[in-house]
Amino acid sequence: MKITLPNHWSDFIKTFAKKHKEDILYDVVRVFRTEEEIQERYDTHEFEEYLPDYIPVADDSGGQVAIISKNNKDTKVYLSSYGVLQKELLEVLDRDLMHWMQGKFPFDRVQHVLSAADIEKREKENSLLVQKVSSFPVITAFLKDPVCIEGLALPENYASVEHIYYFQDGYQYNSVEHKALVSDVPGEFKPSWIVLASNYFADPFFIDLNEAKQEFPVYFAWHGQGNWEPVKIAENLTEFQNVLLQIQNVRFDKAGLIEYFDENIDLENPLWEEVYTSIEEEEECVSNSIETDEAMGSKANLYITDIGPNKMKVIALLKKEFSLSGTEALQLSKNPKILFRTGYTKWLEYDRKYLEDLGATVEFETLT
């Protein structure tokens, strides 16, 4: 039987294809890139008989398979096994394909718990870094007025001044393996580098605290390349923020974006060249789905107004999303209104549905 893929898979695979060219990711994961590949596995493993409402989208080297529902309204990624395709045994891997990709396609749901000593140590490290960063007004101003640009490998996630150390997880330290990742050895992440923002793929935008006299040049590096190879993308933080503002102002005007880049951006710079290429290739996406603000929806804040009956699950989500300690996440959960994310309503729909599935009550606040 010929399958029909849900719309959210089509959105995901366009982004995936731009980011990943290799067949096998992280040594074990194969993501099916075409409808033909998916159809072949659907038929070979007799999904129509055992799991007719689901579609395989990726597998690993151990016989596990990631699947999604044929139902457009269900965006979750589920875990199963080719040998035991039974609906009652499905486990939820992630809230959606995009978020699963951001986490590097894990096929497990292992939870790592910090000890009280580890939590206390991280809180002290955070306090020290907050003190350092707060002594530079240009850094705090940059973080308190974030410019988020979706879909172009530019900053979408920003550190908060108050929790900036936790934003360094995966760069300065690994919270899962409880080890530092910084070193002055070439190719390693330097102790003086501070990540201020990241894009959808967790690629960092960072500064060097030793370069205060230069007003903090901004660097970028591709995550997961084995070595950190920084690319200087702006002479200072203020210049970088101004460039982002200009891009944001013409984000959905392709001709205007190209003109701005042609006249103002160094296209020999590897990052800006990649962004420019993405803009050029965005014709189908822009013309068909985001040509106007109406197609993307309005810019909005998504708030949690009641965490609901599954308090621990929502607290765990807050802890993960905002890189908080358990104590901090618990305290945040007590707020009557929690800002969960800012973006266009089209993209926030994934978060809305996920939060409501957890039992939380949410609301949108349209930004003008």
Per the document, the length of the chain is: 368
- Whether the Cβ atoms of residue 9 and residue 49 lie closer than 8 Å to each other: no
CA angle 325, 327, 333 (to 5 degrees): 100
Q: What is the pLDDT of residue 290?
A: 40
What is the pTM assigned to this prediction? 0.56
Q: Among 69-83, 94-108, 258-272, which is the least confidently predicted range?
A: 94-108
CATH number for the 297-366 domain, one of 2.60.40.1180, 3.30.1390.10, 3.20.20.70, 3.40.50.1240? 3.30.1390.10
Which of 347, 277, 341, 274 lies closest to 304, judged by CA? 341
- Whether the Cβ atoms of residue 223 and residue 204 lie closer than 8 Å to each other: yes
Q: Which stretch, 90-104, 257-271, 328-342, has highest mean pLDDT?
A: 257-271
Phi, psi of 281 (to 5 degrees): -85, 0
Query: Look-up: residue for tokens 């486990």?
Result: 91
Fold of 7-102: SMI1/KNR4-like (3.40.1580)
Residue 113 has pLDDT above 70, yes or no: no
pLDDT tens digits, 32-48: 999 999 999 999 889 99
Sketch the domain layout of the chain as residue ranges.
Answer: 7-102, 116-249, 297-366
Angstrom CA distances, 134 to 130, 137, 163, 211, 239, stand at 6, 7, 12, 15, 20
